[in-house]
Every structure is written in structure tokens, then in C-alpha cells.
């Protein structure tokens, strides 16, 4: 029930219907207006036709000339007769008006009821459809026909909202189905290996150890998968407070963890890290995104090849670019690389411990930070992933605070042969020209996968095209 403070709450139950209230309002307004007109007419008329009672001016004899019969009659003023007629007319007018008003009141109630019913019928329909729609079946639509009026727009808005909800639920269902599918495979490995090992009464220790190794491997995979699923789920939650983050420091941090893995595969990790590129974001999430891009590059690079990593900013946007000399991604697959559980090479990715979620997480993190990820790739040449992020509004104090922390390590790990920042601030503007040029050059062909604005793509492809001074 409504709170007693609400005026509606004090009204009796039957007035809660808009139809009743609308009818009453319609009727009252109509009645009021009509009454006003009638009263005004009556008052104006009664003022102009002053009615006074007829007074006798005297008595006289009225004689018939032919019969000589005479009768006594009252003699009155003719003007008074006129007034008498006026008074009676006014009385009649009043009586008729009152009756008409009464009838009109009844009629207006009926008409109001009917009109209100007609106006509210679509709303009734919207309500009943909305009530019928369960969260599990969002395929129904209101589909209100008729003219393009307010109610039609309301119904269309509802339909659009339902379509969005339906799509969101479908995505969620698909995600759950994919996730359970991905979790079932390692689970099947674990269970089957245990079943087979346990069913063998005379298994030798070596067989058992082998089974344990396999189980361990499968459970590691499940662990990675659960971590990545959680990262994705967390990314969908409302973001935590962003803070100013030195992108260079984050990238240096992320790549430190990958150095050993890259060395193990005889891959040269070429880093051009410029300090002073500050974005607003969540350091852990950004680090994860960069680490995922790097892991991907290292995973698909042939031994002895080069993985380039560079950070910079231009025109108010910071970028992190990771390029590899791997097999590349064919154009038809490029739109799908950011999809969950999509793998270029399923068996190989799994053997390397990939969950198929890495790039989906990168895209989600970039989007959550108001940025985006682009892919340029050519089969047989390599791939370059570029994450663009908006640069944080520069506040002197926070910037120096951020920079003081980790930029030392960034410079420490920056390659000695090139790309060492000459001057902070302005160096970040020029950095794309320093390092990314050669890496990006082969990928100039295909358009960016996610349909980014052309000038951005050009900027990433060949920053040398524009002299540093003119921006």
C-alpha cells in the first residue's frame, strides 16, 4: 500500500484506475465549463432584463362597443408586462439550463469513460504483454500497430528494450554454454584418467605417476580458465575508482613477467617504453591486458623471431602496441579474434595453456577504459595489436607522483639501441616514429579489424607519415 502521506493513498480503491480518474476529470471540466457558460449567460441576461413584479397602476373599465358590456380591468404599465415576460423567460432559461447541465453531466461521464477506455486500451495491451513476458522468454514483442503516436512510441521503446535484453540474455546464455563446454573437457580428462588408473588393480607406479601428471595438467588448465572467466566477469561489474597510471610502468611491469618465457622460446623481446604517458585506469587490469597481448605474441611467434612492444601517445590518446612475426591472421578470421573461446589454432593454443579468453579480456579492459583494441595482420608476416586509451587529464602533482614510482625500471629495461626517451613529455609525442614504424610497415594492407576511424589506423600504421611538429 502507498504511504499515508501520498494524497493518492487516501483515495478509495476504485479511484486508483486512471480510467475512472480521467473520466471524472473530463466530466468535471466539461461540466464546469458548461456551467460557467450558462451562469454567465444567465447573469448577463438577468442584468439587462431587470425583472420587477407587475404593479397595478389603477383600475379602468373596458367596454365592448357593440354589446355595451363593460368589465373592470386592471390597468398596468406596458413596460411592466414586458418585464414580466422577461422574468418568465429567464426562469425558463434557468430551468432548461439546469436540466441540460444535469443531462450533460451524465453524458460527459459516459463519453469520458468511453474515450478514456479507447485511449488507455494500448496501455492495457502493453501491460498485459509485459506481464506475460518472463525473463526466460524474451522473444515476445508488444508490436503495437496504429499511428506513430506517443503510445506507439512507448510500445516501440519497450520492444527495443526487450530486444536488447533478449540479446543480452542470449549472450549470457551463450557465454555460460561456452564456459561449461570449456570446463568439461579438462574435467573429462581428469575423471577418465582417474577412473582408468583406479580400475587397474596392478598398475605400476610409473602408470600412476603418468596419470597424476595428466590430472595435474588438466587441473592447471581449469585453474587458468576459471581465472580468465573471473577476469571477464569482473570486467562486466561496475568499474572501481580509476587512478592515474603511468602506462610505461605498467607495460614494463607486465613485460618483465614475460621475459623468461620469451627467452625460453628464443624470442627477442624488443621494448620501447616511454615514461610519462599517463592514463586514467586500473593498474592491475591494464597490466593484465598488456600481459595477455604479450603472451599471445610470444605464444604464436616462431623461435628466433622478434616481439616488439612499444608505448606512446599522440593527439590525446595513449597507445600500447605489440607486434609479432608469427603466422598472422587471415582477414576472414580477424573479426573473430576478440571473441570468447575463439582460437586460431585450437590444439596448439591449448597445448600452450591458452584458454581462448585472452583477447576477449583485452578488449573488455580497453573498452572499460574508454579505449579500443585494433588488429593489423597479414598472413605469413605477423600481427600487430594496438590498444588505444584516452590520456588522463594532466595534473602536475599526480603525474610526477606516478612517474616517480616505476619509471626507473621502465628505463632500465628499455632497449639500449634505440627508443630511449630523449626528453619526457615531448618524447612521448615522437615515440611512434622511433620504434613502431618498421614493425607496422608490413601490416599496412588490411583495414583495422574493428572498423576504427581511418586516420587512427594510418597513425598506427606509419607514424612517420606525419612530421612530429605539426600535431
Residues near another protein, by CB under 8 A = 177, 180-182, 184-185, 187-193, 195-196, 199-200, 211, 214, 217-218, 345-347, 350
Q: Least CB distance from residue 177 to another protein, whole Å?
A: 7
What is the rounded distance in angstroms from the CA atom of residue 166 to the CA atom of residue 174?
12
Identity of the residue, 350 or 378, whose beta carbon is nearer to another protein in the bound complex: 350
Closer to another protein by CB, 345 or 455: give it.
Answer: 345
Name the residue nearer to another protein (CB basis): 50 or 199. Answer: 199
Q: Minimum distance from CB of 182 to another protein (Å)?
A: 8
Q: How far is the CB of 345 from another protein (least distance, A)?
A: 8
**Closest approach of Cβ 301 to another protein, in Å?**
21
Q: For residue 325, what are the contacts with CB-CB under 8 A and spacing of at least 6? A: 301, 302, 305, 306, 307, 381, 382
User: For another protein, which is the closer residue by CB, 22 or 342?
Assistant: 342
- What is d(CA 263, CA 269) in angstroms, rounded to the nearest whole number? 8
Nearer to another protein, 190 or 290 (CB): 190
Report CA Rg, the chain.
43
Cβ proximity to another protein: between 58 and 201 the closer is 201
Closest CA to 268 of 439, 40, 390, 84: 439
User: Minimum CB separation from another protein for residue 438, in Å?
Assistant: 34
C-alpha to C-alpha distance for 279 and 309, rounded to whole angstroms: 18
232 Cβ contact partners less than 8 Å away, ≥ 6 residues apart: 340, 357, 360, 361, 364
Rounded to the nearest 10°, the torsion over CA 70, 76, 77, 79 is: -110
Q: Least Å distance between CB 240 and another protein?
A: 34
- Measured from the CB atom, the residue of 178 and 411 that comes closer to another protein is 178
The answer to whether 74 and 86 have CB atoms below 8 angstroms apart is no
Q: How far is the CB of 416 from another protein (least distance, A)?
A: 43
Q: What's the CA gap between 450 and 454, in Å, rounded?
A: 11
CA distances from 324 to 14, 92, 385 (A): 73, 102, 9
Instruction: Give the shortest CB-192-to-another protein separation in angstroms.
Output: 4
User: In terms of CB distance, is 43 or 188 closer to another protein?
Assistant: 188
Rounded to a whole number of angstroms, the minimum distance from the CB of residue 128 to another protein is: 31
Residue 19, SS3 per DSSP? helix
- Rounded Cα gap, residues 186 and 209, in angstroms: 18
Nearest to 121 by CA among 144, 96, 95, 90: 144
Closest-CA residue to 166 (of 144, 134, 143):
134
Strands 268-272 and 70-76: unpaired
Q: Which is nearer to another protein, 182 or 461 (CB)?
A: 182
Amino acid at each position: 500500500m502507498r504511504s499515508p502521506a501520498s494524497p493518492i493513498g487516501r483515495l478509495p480503491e476504485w479511484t486508483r484506475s486512471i480510467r475512472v480518474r480521467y473520466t471524472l476529470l473530463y466530466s468535471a471540466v466539461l461540466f464546469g465549463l458548461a456551467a460557467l457558460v450558462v451562469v454567465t449567460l444567465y447573469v448577463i441576461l438577468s442584468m439587462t432584463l431587470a425583472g420587477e413584479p407587475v404593479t397595478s397602476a389603477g383600475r379602468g373599465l373596458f367596454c365592448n362597443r357593440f354589446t355595451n358590456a363593460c368589465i373592470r380591468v386592471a390597468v398596468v404599465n406596458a413596460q411592466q408586462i414586458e418585464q414580466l415576460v422577461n422574468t418568465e423567460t429567464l426562469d425558463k432559461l434557468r430551468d432548461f439550463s439546469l436540466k441540460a447541465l444535469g443531462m450533460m453531466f451524465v453524458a460527459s461521464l459516459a463519453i469520458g469513460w468511453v474515450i478514456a477506455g479507447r485511449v488507455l486500451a494500448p496501455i492495457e495491451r502493453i501491460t498485459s504483454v509485459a506481464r506475460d513476458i518472463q525473463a526466460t522468454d524474451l522473444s515476445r514483442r508488444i508490436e503495437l500497430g496504429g499511428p506513430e503516436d506517443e503510445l506507439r512510441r512507448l510500445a516501440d521503446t519497450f520492444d527495443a528494450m526487450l530486444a536488447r535484453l533478449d540479446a543480452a540474455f542470449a549472450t549470457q546464455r551463450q557465454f555460460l554454454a561456452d564456459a561449461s563446454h570449456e570446463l568439461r573437457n579438462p574435467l573429462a580428462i581428469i575423471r577418465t584418467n582417474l577412473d582408468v588408473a583406479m580400475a587397474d588393480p596392478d598398475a605400476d607406479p610409473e602408470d600412476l605417476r603418468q596419470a597424476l601428471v595428466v590430472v595435474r595438467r588438466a587441473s592447471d588448465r581449469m585453474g587458468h580458465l576459471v581465472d580468465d572467466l573471473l577476469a571477464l566477469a569482473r570486467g562486466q561489474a561496475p568499474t572501481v575508482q580509476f587512478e592515474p597510471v603511468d602506462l610505461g610502468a605498467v607495460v614494463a611491469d607486465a613485460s618483465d613477467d614475460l621475459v623468461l618465457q620469451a627467452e625460453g622460446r628464443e624470442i627477442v623481446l624488443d621494448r620501447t617504453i616511454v615514461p610519462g604517458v599517463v592514463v586514467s585506469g586500473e593498474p592491475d587490469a591494464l597490466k593484465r591486458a598488456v600481459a595477455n597481448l604479450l603472451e599471445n605474441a610470444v605464444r604464436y611467434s616462431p623461435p628466433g623471431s622478434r616481439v616488439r612492444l612499444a608505448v606512446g601517445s599522440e593527439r590525446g590518446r595513449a597507445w600500447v602496441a605489440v607486434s609479432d612475426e608469427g603466422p598472422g591472421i587471415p582477414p576472414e578470421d580477424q573479426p573473430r579474434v576478440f571473441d570468447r573461446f575463439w582460437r586460431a589454432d585450437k590444439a596448439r593454443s591449448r597445448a600452450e595453456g591458452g584458454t581462448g579468453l585472452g583477447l576477449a579480456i583485452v578488449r573488455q579492459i580497453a573498452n572499460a577504459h574508454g579505449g579500443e583494441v585494433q588488429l593489423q595482420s597479414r598472413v605469413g608476416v605477423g600481427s600487430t595489436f594496438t590498444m588505444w586509451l584516452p590520456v588522463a587529464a594532466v595534473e602536475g602533482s599526480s603525474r610526477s607522483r606516478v612517474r616517480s614510482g616505476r619509471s626507473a625500471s621502465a628505463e632500465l629495461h628499455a632497449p639500449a639501441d634505440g627508443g630511449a626517451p630523449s626528453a619526457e613529455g615531448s618524447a612521448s609525442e615522437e615515440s611512434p616514429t622511433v620504434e613502431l614504424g618498421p614493425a607496422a610497415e608490413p601490416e599496412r594492407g588490411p583495414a583495422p579489424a574493428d572498423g576504427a576511424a581511418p586516420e587512427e589506423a594510418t597513425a598506427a600504421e606509419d607514424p612517420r607519415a606525419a612530421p612530429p611538429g605539426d600535431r
